Structure 1
Amino acid sequence: MYEKILVPTDGSSTSEAAVEHAVDLAEKYEAGLHALYVIDTDSMSLSLGGEQLDRIEQGQYGEMTEVRERAEKATGYVADRARERGLETVEHVSAGKPHSLIADYVEDNGIDLVVMGSHGRSGIRRALLGSVTERTLRSTHTPVLVVDADGRE
C-alpha cells in the first residue's frame, strides 16, 4: 500500500511521536522511510541578515553549526529508530517555508504517505501560531497521517 513514507521532523517530542508511527508503518508495509528537517527561514529572518539567510536557503550553513547540528540530530533520531527495526532511512535537510518544502519533497520523491505530529491546538492559539501540519494538509494531495502528540501515552 505504501512504498515511501515521509516523516517531517523538527526534533521535538511532537515529531518524535510521529516518528514511532512512521517507523511502524514502514516496517509493516516494507516501505522506504524519509526524514525531512526544514529550517524555517521565515522564523529565522527576524534574527539573521539577508545574506546569511540566502546562504542557508542554498544549503550553505557555514557558521550556523547549531542549526546544522539540530537538523542532523532530528533526522538522525528517525534513522536510529528505523535502524533498530532493520530499516534504512533517507535523511534530508532543506531551508524555506516548511509546508511548501514538505509538499515539494512529497512530489519530487514519490512519497505515498506523510506522517506528522501535531499539538492539537485550536482556536486563537492556532490562528496566532499557525500550523505547519494544517498547511501541509492543504498543500498536498498525498495522504497525511496526523499524530496527536498530546493524546499519546
Structure 2
Amino acid sequence: MTDLDIDLVLVPVDGSEESHEAVDYAIAVANEYDASVHALYVLGEDVVRAIETGAIDEADVADDTESFTDSVIERAEAAGVPHGNSIAYGFSTKVKTVHPGSVVLDTAEDLDADFIVVPREPVTGGPVEVLEKAAEYVLLYASQPVLSV
C-alpha cells in the first residue's frame, strides 16, 4: 500500500446541505494530510442562463454565494486548514461540453488538485443542486482519488 501525497483537496459545492457535508469531509482530509482545501462553487444552468440574459446580475450571484463561502472559510480556519475558493459556470449556452462534471475536473487540473471530495446529491434535488449529475461523471473520469459523500 502506498501513501497518498495530498497537497490540495478540491470540493465542488452548490449551496446544498450535501455540499456542507462534503466541505466537512474535505477539511478533514486536508487536515489529515496537512493539505489545503479549495471550495469550487458551481453555478447551475438556470443561474447561468439568467446571468447571460441579464435577468440577474453576476455580482448579485457572487453576493448570494458569499454566505456559503464564508461558512467554508470559518470551518477551514477553525481546523487550521489553508483554504481557497472560486465560482464557476457549470453550464454554457455556447460550448456543449461544459457541464458541472467537466467544470469540476477542469478546475481540478488547473489547480493541480490531488484529491476531490464530491457531494453525492439525491436525484430528487431542486435546480439549485447542480452537482447531482456531476458526482457520477467525476467518479468515472477523475485522475485524482475521489471521495463521494
TM-score (norm. length: structure 1): 0.74
Kept after mapping to 2: 8 A contact 1:117/1:133: yes
Partner of 1:131: 133
Q: 2:15 aligns with which of 11, 18, 21?
A: 11
Name stretches of at least 5 consecutive residues in structure 1 with no aligned partner: 148-153
| Aligned length in residues | 132
Structure 2 counterparts to residues 49-128 of structure 1, below 5 A: 50-52=52-54, 61-62=58-59, 65=60, 67-96=61-90, 97-119=99-121, 121=123
Kept after mapping to 2: 8 A contact 1:38/1:95: yes
Q: Please state how far the C-alpha of 1:75 moved relative to its aligned partner.
A: 2.2
Distance 2:134 2:51 in 1: 24
Kept after mapping to 2: 8 A contact 1:11/1:73: no
Name stretches of at least 5 consecutive residues in structure 2 with no aligned partner: 91-98
TM-score (norm. length: structure 2): 0.75
Q: Please state how far the C-alpha of 1:45 moved relative to its aligned partner.
A: 5.6
RMSD: 2.6
Pair 1:91–1:138, CA change in 2 (3 A):
same
**Would you identify which runs of 4 or more consecutive aligned residues in structure 1 move more than 4 Å?**
none
Kept after mapping to 1: 8 A contact 2:51/2:58: no
Distance 2:33 2:27 in 1: 10
Q: Please state how far the C-alpha of 1:119 moved relative to its aligned partner.
A: 3.3
